[in-house]
């Protein structure tokens, strides 16, 4: 049996297709027929891994681009993708009837990308469709927490698939004997060192029950992979510190009021990170000496801190030139932070967050100094800072990392995750590279389907084809090998 051809729509940096290409079962596997993406940096990423002939750079709403997709990928067996649907999380009031809600979703012009996804499905007619990431599905929610709005969206997706001739029912579960039309997968259950829940809808035209990927990690399986499993062995990376605008930075007066303590906290955190690391052999003694000198200063703090951070950054650039090489093209460098945030990173306990450390009732997390330093609204943004833990999977990696990264604080080093760390926590291969600048890389990584979860979905489809003895190319039985 020939390889099954895959078309990846809204391909991003290639997480979905990377996972599918890693999947195999018996004598069948997948190959990429094409990947459609509008973001230029993501297209360069895809080209670097799959070749220019497999990547279609363009807008799915453009008739010319759509015709090119149909021309180049007319014989694909599987279409995968998660079209961004802006109104999925705003589907209307819960009191609305499901029929009215579905019609509202279908007719809303902001859901244009959704309609073009199904237009291509209808014209290409692949044997399988995998629809991922219904907007509004929060990572922390369990299946039972899905709202009426989200269920209306699921109903709409399944209804459209059925109208195109697809079977959406899953294999009946042992527990209920019922066949649902969607599944909520947590990436941590499939070898991804990250909690990330997504709604997955699998549909097929070959009239077999749609598969449910077998969990490989979690209860009854291997333990969930942790942050430490994924990035614990990486070389230390120190953050550069923004030396400008400190006097006007909100709550910097709290730092000055606790000046000596802040300098000592900073020194000890950096010392703990770089002690006995030969890469920092020249940097370390200079750093310790300067911090001790600064901690004794009684006045003119802002100017002295600015001068110190300018020199600190220059010294760190010298260190960076001697960083041990990782996989070629990967980006394991820290973004720049301001000194207030650095102190917040240091004081926050691993596994805690700002909603906890500003709450006096959370005795194990609360800190008066942290609460005084917190610069954001306490009504709307309580969980702005989130520090991850070594011994658990990561919290959901999001594209928001391109903006500030404050929800992705390293468990030990006083900084947020590097792009390379984020990609490993998303389960990308260690040598996978992303094109574009740091923010473009964060965006691609955060928007991606974790490859290991995609691999599990792909293998479930292959196993279902194999078990049902169906050749999707002919829709006829084939001899099992």
Q: Rounded to whole angstroms, how far apart are CA atoms 260 and 255?
A: 9
Tell me the torsion sign for CA atoms 170, 142, 462, 124. Answer: positive
Could you tell me if residue 128 is inside a domain? yes
Q: CA-to-CA distance for 426 and 412, rounded, in angstroms? A: 19
Say whether pLDDT at 394 is over 90.
yes
The rounded distance, in Å, linking the Cα atoms of 124 and 165 is: 12
pTM: 0.92
Listed in sequence order, the residues at least 6 apart from 306 whose beta carbon sits closer than 8 Å to its beta carbon are: 243, 244, 246
Residue pair 283/319 in contact by the 8 Å Cβ criterion: yes
Do 215 and 252 share a structural domain? Answer: no
Tally of domains in the chain: 2
Q: Is residue 470 part of a domain?
A: yes
Q: What is the DSSP letter of 388?
A: -
Residues 121-135: tens digit of each pLDDT? 999 999 999 999 755
In three-state secondary structure terms, 143 is helix
Are 11 and 143 in the same domain? yes
pLDDT digits (tens, 9 = 90+) for 4-22: 999 999 999 999 999 999 9
Going 453 to 456 to 461 to 464, the CA torsion angle's sign is negative
Q: Is 43 a catalytic residue?
A: no
Q: Which of 43, 73, 85, 158 is catalytic?
A: 85
Domain match, 199 and 250 both: no
Per-residue pLDDT tens over the stretch 106-163 = 676 656 788 899 999 999 999 999 999 755 554 444 445 667 777 777 888 899 999 9
Same domain, 404 and 255: yes
Residue 451 lies in a domain: yes
Under 8 Å between Cβ of 284 and 271: yes
CA dist 228 and 195 (Å) reads 14
Residue 160 lies inside a defined structural domain of this protein: yes
Q: Is residue 133 part of a domain?
A: yes
Domain that includes residue 299, residue range: 238-322+334-417
Strand, coil or helix: 218? coil
> Is 203 a residue whose pLDDT tops 60?
yes
pLDDT band for 89, please (50, 70, 90 cuts): very low
In a domain, 255, yes or no: yes
């Amino acid at each position: 049996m020939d390889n099954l051809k895959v078309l990846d729509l809204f391909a991003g940096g290639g997480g979905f297709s990377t996972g599918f290409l890693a999947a195999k079962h018996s004598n069948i596997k997948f190959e990429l027929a094409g990947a459609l993406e509008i973001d230029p940096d993501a297209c360069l990423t895809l080209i670097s891994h799959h070749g220019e002939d497999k990547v279609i750079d363009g807008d799915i709403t453009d008739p010319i681009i759509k015709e090119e997709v149909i021309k180049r990928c007319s014989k694909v067996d599987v279409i995968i993708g998660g079209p961004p649907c802006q109104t999925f999380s705003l589907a209307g009031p819960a009191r609305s009837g499901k029929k009215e809600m579905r019609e509202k979703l279908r007719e809303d012009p902001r859901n244009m990308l959704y309609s073009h996804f199904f237009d291509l499905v209808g014209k290409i007619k692949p044997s399988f469709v995998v629809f991922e990431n219904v907007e509004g599905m929060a990572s922390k929610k369990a299946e039972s927490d899905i709202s009426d709005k989200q269920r209306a969206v699921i109903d709409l997706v399944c209804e459209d698939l059925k109208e195109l001739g697809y079977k959406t029912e899953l294999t009946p579960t042992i527990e209920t004997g019922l066949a649902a039309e969607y599944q909520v997968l947590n990436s941590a259950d499939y070898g991804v060192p990250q909690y990330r829940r997504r709604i997955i809808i699998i549909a097929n035209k070959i009239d077999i029950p749609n598969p449910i990927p077998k969990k490989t990690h979690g209860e009854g399986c291997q333990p969930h992979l942790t942050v430490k499993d994924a990035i614990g062995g990486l070389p230390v990376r120190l953050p550069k510190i923004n030396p400008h605008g400190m006097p006007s930075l909100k709550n910097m007066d709290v730092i000055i009021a606790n000046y000596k303590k802040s300098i000592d906290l900073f020194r000890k955190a950096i010392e703990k990170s770089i002690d006995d690391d030969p890469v920092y052999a020249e940097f370390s003694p200079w750093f310790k000496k300067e911090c001790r000198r600064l901690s004794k200063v009684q006045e003119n703090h802002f100017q002295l801190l600015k001068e110190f951070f300018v020199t600190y950054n220059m010294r760190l650039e010298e260190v960076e030139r001697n960083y041990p090489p990782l996989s070629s093209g990967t980006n394991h460098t820290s973004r720049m932070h301001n000194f207030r945030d650095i102190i917040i990173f240091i004081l926050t306990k691993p596994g805690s967050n700002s909603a906890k450390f500003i709450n006096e009732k959370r005795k194990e997390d609360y800190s008066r100094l942290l609460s005084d330093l917190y610069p954001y609204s306490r009504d709307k943004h309580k969980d702005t800072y989130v520090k991850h833990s070594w011994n658990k999977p990561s919290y959901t990696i999001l594209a928001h990392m391109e903006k500030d990264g404050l929800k992705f604080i390293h468990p030990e080093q006083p900084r947020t995750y590097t792009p390379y760390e984020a990609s490993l926590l998303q389960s990308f291969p260690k040598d996978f590279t992303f094109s574009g600048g740091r923010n473009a890389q964060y965006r691609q990584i955060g928007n991606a389907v974790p490859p290991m979860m995609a691999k599990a979905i792909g293998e479930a489809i292959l196993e279902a084809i194999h078990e049902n003895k169906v050749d999707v190319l002919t829709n006829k039985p084939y001899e099992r090998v």
